[in-house]
A and B are shown apart, each in its own frame.
Chain A
Amino acid sequence: MRDARIEKLAELITGYSLDLREGQVYRIDGEEVSIPLAVALYAAAIRRGANPYTRIVPSGLDELELEHASDEQLAYISELEEIATERLDAWSTLWGAVNTRALTRADPERRRLQLSTQFRMVNRRWERISAGDLAWCGTFYPSQGHAQDAEMSLPEYEDFVHGACHTRDGDDPIAHWKGMSETMTARALELDGVRELRIVGPDTDLCVVVEGRQWVPSDGKHNMPDGEIFTSPVETGTSGEIFFAFPSIFQGQEVENVRLRFEDGSVVHAEATSGENYLRSLIETDAGAKVLGEVAFGLNYEIDRFTRDILFDEKIGGTMHVALGCGFDEAGAENKSDLHWDLICDLRQEGEVYADGELVWKAGSFVAELAVARA
């Protein structure tokens, strides 16, 4: 049966996120489970006069590749992907897995090689995205695998996803995201004037220097759902302690109750109630893995619970997150690392954030315009 919300989501992505126009070449990627959304996107693209095509694959190919491919085959980048990277005007990636843990037991070395090939492919694509030559949007298709991680039934999870995208019955998603974009852009401009943030919460008192860095509003162009403002902090400026009440997940493995202490920008102490060895091994990935590559405010208030998927969790309205590892060029970052691990700090109950000494955020939302903006 057709789900009108899927049609709405397709209109939002083609009309707002990608701003798809006549004659543009547009590819839709995803796994078989996301076919209903792929079809809706394709049809919406046809109505907009674009030239869409799809690349839908069966689930389980990564596992087969890990099992049967030589190292040389694992490192191979397909010409089809290279051609697409050069020729596309717009690109959709549909995330939706039948089993989010299918690769948990894969050989870590081989998996690293497979991922690094995929990253090399995506890096070239990002050059065109950053230059504004390629519109890209990654979006979620609600599947049983993700519903299970979020501890919901599929219908409950569908309601949750469409709530987060503002694609429920009666919603006007394009109006919503345009409004969000304006608000978040104004807030990012205000934050651009801030030198230092102090984050205070349960077992948390962390100073992050952001002077000279750009704040970027994530307003539904590259991700759907979306809703965060992020930057990359000054690499040597982080000091103090932070506690993460939500489980911290990397590549399907969970670490619980992470506490980090920073001095002069780097982690000097790390502990967790479970998964501590994994936590330490991730921090030891390389020199950049001890340093923050991101600090961000989560601003999507329809996302009101933890679902074990970072694309949603990092946007939970009222949280902040930091990432250990690689920073963002667009924010002015210098930190390089093979790691980028988002950890989420819940500030909804008793958190406070001070910008250059002034209270700007309390109990999960901005309190007012920033002083720097008034000055």
Chain B
Amino acid sequence: MLDPRHRKLAEVIVGYSTEVGPGDKVLIESTGSASPLVRELYGASLRAGGHPETSLGLDEAEEALLGEGSDAQLEWIAPDLEWKVDRGDVWMVIDAPVNTKRLTGVDPSKMGTRLKARAPIQSRYLERSAAGDFRWVICGYPTEASAQDAGMSLRQYEDVLYRAAFLDKDDPVAAWASFGDRLEGVGSILDNVRELRIVGEETDLKLGVEDRTWIRSKGLRNFPDGEVFTGPIETSVEGTIRFTFPAMMRGRQADGVRLRFEAGEVVEATATRGQDFLREMIALDEGAKRVGEFAFGMNDAIGEYTGNLLLDEKIGGTVHLALGRSVPGTGGENRSGLHWDIVCDLRDGGEVYADGELVYRDGAFLSGTS
């Protein structure tokens, strides 16, 4: 059945997030379950004057590659992928999982081989993106699998997702614009900070952020969105953080993750469940031990944990850090095949100090902070 919100969502993605214009080469990718939205994006891109193309990913094909592929096959880069990162103008990825745990049984070394081979591709598109030559967006799409992870019905999950995307508003683009103003306010506070200290339950972590750029993430590269993030100084991270939410990566999971840092590197990593997996990921390469991103989740329309990182890392009142690759444009210099976001809820008693001054408590920036 046609959900009228698909049309609205497509208009926002094409008109606001990626600003498709005449002659733009647009690639729309998804899994099969999101075809209704893919069609809307295709039509909206044509109306905007672009040259859209679509490609539906096949879960079972990827499973065959990861299950039976040789190293040469795992490392091979398809012409479509190279073209996209070198020559494309707009790349839309619709995240519409049919089964979020389908890769749980894959040999981690095969996954690692593939991740490493693709790291240069990742860097290339992120660099083109930072230079303003490439607009990409990852857009959530409600599926039974995501609803199941969130412990709710598909209809309930649709409402959660579309509320987070401000599609319940009459004019979602205006809502994103005014939300962007709010993120600008927070960003301008953080721009002048040298050191952040995060304090919470079993957590006391310091990060140097001087001269790094805080990016106001307001619905352009992720959708839904709502975070302010940077790449901390690679050698600066010190102390301990205990993450309240599970750390998820491609169907695998570690719970109760606790990391201790010295001089920017993880020196101790424990988990109440999935500890081996956690340590495997951290051992992927040199950069996987370091923090590539630190961020404040700012979207108050997302209230609860859903198990979908795209939403969870944006929850208003949380912070997250990513082990591994930093994002071009932030000033971060860390390189890795990994970029693994893990979320910590600060809504219940968490505090953040900026150069010694309390600026954030119980999940919100304090008014009058300068």
Which A residues fall within an 8 A CB radius of B? 23, 25, 32, 35, 38-39, 42-43, 46-47, 49, 51-61, 64-65, 67-70, 73, 76, 78-80, 83-84, 87
Contact = CB atoms under 8 A, between A and B. Distances in A.
Contacts of A52: 61
B39 A43 contact: no
A96 to B, nearest CB: 14
B283 interface: no
B55 A73 contact: no
B51 A53 contact: no
B49 interface: yes
Contacts of A53: 78-80
Nearest to B44: A68
Contact of B78 (A51, A56, A57, A78): A51
Given A51-B73, A64-B39, A68-B47, A78 B58 contact: no
A55 B38 CA distance: 14
Contacts of A35: 32, 56, 58
B116 interface: no
Contacts of B27: 80
Given A42-B61, A64-B46, A55 B68 contact: no
Given A64-B39, A80-B83, A57 B54 contact: yes
Interface in B32-65: 32, 35, 38-39, 42-43, 46-47, 49, 51, 53-58, 60-61, 64-65
A84 B32 CA distance: 23
Contacts of A73: 46, 49, 51
28 contacts: A32-B56, A43-B60, A46-B64, A46-B65, A47-B68, A49-B70, A51-B73, A52-B61, A54-B61, A55-B80, A56-B55, A56-B56, A56-B58, A57-B55, A58-B38, A58-B56, A59-B35, A61-B39, A61-B54, A64-B39, A65-B46, A68-B46, A70-B49, A79-B87, A80-B27, A80-B53, A80-B79, A83-B83
State the main secondary structure of chain B at its contact with A.
helix
Nearest to A33: B32
B53 A68 contact: no
A56 B60 CA distance: 13
A267 to B, nearest CB: 40
A49 B79 contact: no
Contact of A54 (B39, B49, B55, B79): B55
Contacts of B221: none
Contacts of A39: 58, 60-61, 64
B3 to A, nearest CB: 15
Given A42-B65, A53-B79, A60-B39, 14 more contacts: A42-B60, A51-B78, A54-B61, A55-B80, A58-B39, A61-B39, A65-B46, A68-B43, A68-B47, A69-B46, A73-B51, A80-B27, A84-B80, A87-B79
Contacts of B46: 64-65, 68-69, 73
Nearest to A86: B79
A292 to B, nearest CB: 38
B1 interface: no
A7 to B, nearest CB: 12
A141 B27 CA distance: 26
Contact of B73 (A46, A57, A70): A46
Interface in B202-245: none
B80 A32 contact: no
B356 interface: no
- Please provide the 7 A-B residue pairs with the shortest distance between their CB atoms, ordered closest to farther: A68-B46, A58-B35, A53-B78, A43-B64, A42-B61, A39-B60, A51-B76
A58 B38 CA distance: 8
Contacts of A78: 25, 51, 53
B185 interface: no
